[in-house]
């Protein structure tokens, strides 16, 4: 079993890496650092909300999956 501290570090580093990937992609597509930063930040918030909802749905219905 993984420790809480390790899980928190993994989550934080994943979000940093993912934000960098989204920001870089947005920068390549738009050519604007400002727009890329806005899109990467918005995506990070949206992804966090979606992940939370996903986890709650699995907590409620996931036990049915075998």
Question: Domain map of the chain by residue range?
Answer: 4-64
Return the percentage of the chain with pLDDT > 70, whole number: 100
pTM of the model: 0.70
Q: Please enumerate in sequence order all residues whose Cβ is within 8 A of that of 51, keeping only pairs 6 or more positions apart, or say none.
A: none
| DSSP assigned state of 48 | H
Place 2 in a pLDDT band, splitting at 50, 70 and 90: confident
The two three-digit tokens of residue 56, written as one number: 């709650």
Q: How far apart are CA 15 and CA 32, in angstroms?
A: 21
pLDDT of residue 59: 87
pLDDT of residue 31: 97
**Cβ-contact 19, 44 below 8 angstroms:** yes
């Amino acid at each position: 079993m993984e420790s809480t501290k390790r899980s928190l570090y993994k989550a934080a580093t994943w979000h940093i890496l993912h934000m960098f990937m989204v920001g870089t992609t947005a920068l390549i597509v738009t050519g604007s650092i400002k727009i890329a930063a806005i899109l990467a930040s918005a995506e990070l918030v949206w992804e966090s909300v979606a992940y939370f909802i996903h986890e709650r749905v699995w907590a409620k219905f996931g036990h049915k999956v075998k």
